[in-house]
Structure formats: structure tokens, C-alpha cells
Amino acid sequence: MTAPGLQESSVYCPYCGESISVLLNPEDVGLDYIEDCQVCCRPIEFHLREQAGGWLEAEVRSDVE
């Protein structure tokens, strides 16, 4: 089943630098959440922002100090 509004995007892992594909959910805009990198399995912190036209942009950063 396809949830409407999900957008596929790719981000660069802040740990290993690999490009990974992610699904962005419009319901997560403004929230921070953690998703493990598909390559190095380390926890990436995501912050979603909504751009003009309803496109979602993911800002990523490492969860370590």
C-alpha cells in the first residue's frame, strides 16, 4: 500500500559520506527523528523542512557530540 505524500530522496550520511535513499513523510515536517544509515548502521538525525511547492528537504547530522 502506498501512502500518499511520501517522497523519495537521497541524503549523504554524516558519518561515512555514502549517499543513501530515504522516504520522507510530510507528517514528519518540523520533527527530529533518527534513522540508521543503510551503509554504516550509525544513527543519523533527520530534520525535515517543507520547501515551496510542498517538496520536503531533509537536513541530516550526526548524533554524536
For Zn ion, the binding residues (CB under 5 A) are 13, 15-16, 37, 39-40
Q: How far is the CB of 2 from Zn ion (least distance, A)?
A: 27
Q: Which is nearer to Zn ion, 33 or 55 (CB)?
A: 33
**SS in 3 state form for 21-58?**
EEEECHHHECCEEEEECCCCCCEEEEEEEECHHHCEEE
Q: Which is nearer to Zn ion, 15 or 26 (CB)?
A: 15
Please give the backbone phi and psi of residue 42, each rounded to the nearest 5 degrees, phi first.
Answer: -90, 155
Q: How far is the CB of 19 from Zn ion (least distance, A)?
A: 10
Q: Which is nearer to Zn ion, 5 or 10 (CB)?
A: 10
CB 59 within 8 A of CB 44: no
